[in-house]
A and B are shown apart, each in its own frame.
With several copies, the nearest count.
Chain A
Amino acid sequence: MRQVLLAADTPVVVANATGCLEVATTIFPYTAWRCPFIHCAFENAASTLSGVETAYRALKKKGKISQDIRFIAFGGDGGTYDIGLQALSGACERGHRMLYVCYDNQAYMNTGIQRSSATPLGAATTTCPAGKLLPGKSQNRKDLTEIMAAHHIPYVAQTSPGRWNDLVSKTQTALRTEGPSFMNVLSPCPRGWRFPPNETIKIAQLAVDTCLWPLYEVVEGKWRLTYRPKQKLPVEEWLKTQGRFAHLFKGDNQQVIEQLQAEVDRRWEELLEKSS
Chain B
Amino acid sequence: MSKMIEVRWHGRGGQGAKTAAYLLAESAMQEGKYIQAFPEYGPERMGAPMMAFTRISDTPIRIHCHVKTPQVVAVLDPTLLETVDILDGVPKDGTVVVNTGESPDSLRRSLSISGRRLFTVPATQIALETIGKPIPNTPMIGAMIKASGLLNIEAVITNTRKSFEKKFSGLVVEKNIQAIRRAYEEVKSE
Contacts and interface: CB of A to CB of B under 8 A. Distances in A.
A219 B45 CA distance: 39
Contacts of B43: 23, 27
Nearest to B44: A112
Interface string A191-228: 10000000000000000000000000000000000000
Contacts of A191: 46
Interface string A167-193: 000000000000000000000000100
B43 to A, nearest CB: 6
A47 to B, nearest CB: 26
Nearest to A197: B46
Interface residues of A, number: 4
A191 B43 CA distance: 14
Interface string B20-50: 0000000000000000000000010110000
- Do most interface residues of chain B lie in helix, strand or loop, or is the interface mixed? loop
B21 to A, nearest CB: 19
Nearest to B14: A191
A27 B45 CA distance: 13
Nearest to A191: B46
B52 to A, nearest CB: 17
A203 B46 CA distance: 20
- Do most interface residues of chain A lie in helix, strand or loop, or is the interface mixed? helix
A261 B45 CA distance: 34
B2 to A, nearest CB: 38
A113 B20 CA distance: 23
Nearest to A112: B44
B170 to A, nearest CB: 19
A24 B46 CA distance: 12
Contacts of A23: 43
B60 to A, nearest CB: 30
Interface in A1-27: 23-24, 27
Nearest to A23: B43
Contacts of A27: 43
Interface string A231-251: 000000000000000000000
Contacts of B46: 191
A23 B43 CA distance: 8
A191 B14 CA distance: 11
Interface string A13-47: 00000000001100100000000000000000000
B140 to A, nearest CB: 24
A246 B43 CA distance: 27
Interface string B40-79: 0001011000000000000000000000000000000000
A27 to B, nearest CB: 8
A172 to B, nearest CB: 32
Nearest to B43: A23
A24 B43 CA distance: 9
B18 to A, nearest CB: 13
A23 B46 CA distance: 14
Contacts of B45: 24
A114 to B, nearest CB: 15
Contacts of A24: 45
A147 B45 CA distance: 34
B104 to A, nearest CB: 36
A227 B190 CA distance: 65
A191 B13 CA distance: 12
A23 B45 CA distance: 11
Nearest to A27: B43
A168 B143 CA distance: 53
A24 B44 CA distance: 10
Interface string B115-145: 0000000000000000000000000000000
A27 B47 CA distance: 17
A214 B43 CA distance: 33
Nearest to B42: A27
A86 B169 CA distance: 44
Q: Which 3 A-B pairs have the closest CB atoms?
A: A23-B43, A191-B46, A24-B45
Interface of A: 23-24, 27, 191
Interface of B: 43, 45-46
4 contacts: A23-B43, A24-B45, A27-B43, A191-B46
